[in-house]
């Protein structure tokens, strides 16, 4: 199956183009069209091979959950005119990502395991094991490094003192993020899942704050299966999870963590198929809907026409 690695359109009213890690972004006067490609990144590195259907999975999950949370905070999405396309309001993004964690996993666990007991200024209790539930959900924000290539931890106090986000607005972002996590936790529980951690991004148009980018997707979130969580945790075994973490684990097992001099391991057809299957599995498990594969042979023309028609 031919994957969508990138798009290179030029629309008459287009004002700007930006190629992100996994999305191709087409800017217009007051709107943006995001094309969710099949590129995949890990450790802030775009891997050499795209994953079939990954873009469709991300785009459709995000559109679904943006719709289901718009009563909490308005969001940027206007329409999803194609399985790989989202069109929405052009917002000025805040320079922080709001990461909410309900369990000690991923980056937070790696920091804790190294001996740290404070993550982004949030104190963690002693005696925790990997994947333990935290006493309550915590916010561990991040921002972009000076070179813009990778995320770095930052504290609430630093965000406010450095003027990255005004205090009154940051309090709103905190409240929105925690409310969204609570809703996401409820929706996950209905599907037999645990929302472990996730990230939210926000932007502004005028004085209005909007939720932007994606929400509760495998690229931005981590899920555990609730029916096996307690037993596996008691045994000290790895949790069965739905997230992109298995890609990171595969890379680490093969000597790659995005550090200088390291080489991405060979992405064989078998590995690519396995990753694609996991993304589709997550879509169906999280949404409760059957994933309908869109033919990607004519995807470029299909995507282009969907944006043109909408504009």
pLDDT in tens, 92-116: 999 999 999 999 998 999 999 999 9
Q: Compute the chain's Rg from CA coordinates.
A: 19
pLDDT category at 295 given cuts 50, 70, 90 is confident
> Which pair of tokens denotes residue 151?
């995320």
Of the chain, the percentage scoring pLDDT greater than 70 comes to 97
Q: For the whole model, what pTM was predicted?
A: 0.89
- Cα separation values, 119 from 37, 102, 109, 123, 139, Å: 32, 13, 10, 7, 9
pLDDT in tens, 155-171: 999 999 999 999 999 99
pLDDT in tens, 237-270: 999 888 788 898 899 999 999 999 999 999 999 9
Nearest Cα to 239, choosing from 104, 42, 142?
104
pLDDT category at 195 given cuts 50, 70, 90 is very high
Nearest Cα to 177, choosing from 143, 150, 139?
139
What DSSP state is assigned to residue 198? E
pLDDT, residue 243, reads: 78
More confident residue, 214 or 241: 214
CB 75 within 8 A of CB 174: no
Q: Strand, helix or coil at 211?
A: strand
Would you say residue 148 has pLDDT above 70? Answer: no
Q: Strand, helix or coil at 275?
A: helix
For the domain made up of 93-243, the CATH class stated in words is alpha beta
> Which pair of tokens denotes residue 15?
């004002």
- In angstroms, the CA 299 to CA 291 distance is 17
pLDDT, residue 146, reads: 60
pLDDT, residue 68, reads: 96
Encode 64-80 in three state secondary structure: HHHHHCCCCCCECEEEE
For the segment 281-310, the average pLDDT, to the nearest whole number, is: 90
Q: How many CB atoms lie within 10 A of CB 90?
A: 18
For the segment 208-226, the average pLDDT, to the nearest whole number, is: 93
CA dihedral for 299, 300, 303, 304, sign (positive or negative): negative
Nearest Cα to 41, choosing from 61, 19, 21, 62?
21
Element (DSSP H or E) covering residue 184: helix 167-190
pLDDT, residue 145, reads: 67
pLDDT in tens, 44-62: 899 999 999 999 999 999 9
H helix and E strand count, the chain? 8, 18
For the segment 132-158, the average pLDDT, to the nearest whole number, is: 87
Would you say residue 178 has pLDDT above 70? Answer: yes
pLDDT, residue 1, reads: 64
């Amino acid at each position: 199956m031919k994957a969508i690695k990138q798009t290179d359109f030029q629309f008459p009213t287009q004002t700007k183009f930006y190629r992100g890690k996994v999305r191709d972004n087409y800017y217009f006067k007051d709107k943006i069209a995001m094309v969710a490609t099949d590129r995949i990144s890990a450790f802030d590195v775009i891997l050499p091979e795209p994953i079939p259907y990954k873009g469709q999975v991300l785009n459709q999950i995000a559109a679904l959950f943006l719709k289901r949370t718009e009563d909490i905070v308005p969001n940027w999405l206007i329409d999803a005119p194609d399985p790989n396309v989202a069109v929405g309001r052009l917002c000025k993004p805040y320079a922080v990502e709001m990461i909410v964690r309900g369990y000690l996993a991923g980056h937070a666990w790696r920091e804790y395991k190294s001996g740290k007991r404070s993550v982004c200024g949030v104190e963690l209790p002693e005696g925790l094991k990997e994947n333990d539930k935290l006493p309550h959900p915590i916010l561990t924000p991040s921002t972009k490094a000076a070179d813009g290539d990778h995320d770095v931890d930052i504290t609430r106090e630093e965000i406010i003192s450095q003027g990255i986000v005004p205090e009154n607005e940051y309090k709103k972002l905190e409240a929105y993020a925690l409310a969204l996590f609570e809703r996401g936790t409820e929706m996950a529980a209905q599907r037999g899942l645990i929302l472990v951690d996730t990230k939210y991004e926000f932007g502004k148009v005028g004085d209005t704050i909007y939720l932007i980018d994606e929400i509760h997707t495998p690229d931005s979130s981590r899920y555990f299966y609730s029916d096996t969580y307690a037993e596996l945790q008691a045994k000290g075994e790895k949790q069965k999870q739905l997230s992109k973490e298995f890609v990171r684990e595969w890379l680490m097992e093969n000597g790659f963590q995005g550090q200088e001099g390291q080489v991405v391991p060979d992405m064989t057809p078998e590995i690519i198929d396995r990753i694609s299957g996991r993304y589709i599995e997550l879509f169906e498990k999280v949404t409760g809907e059957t994933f309908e594969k869109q033919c990607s042979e004519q995807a470029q023309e299909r995507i282009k026409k969907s944006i043109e028609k909408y504009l």
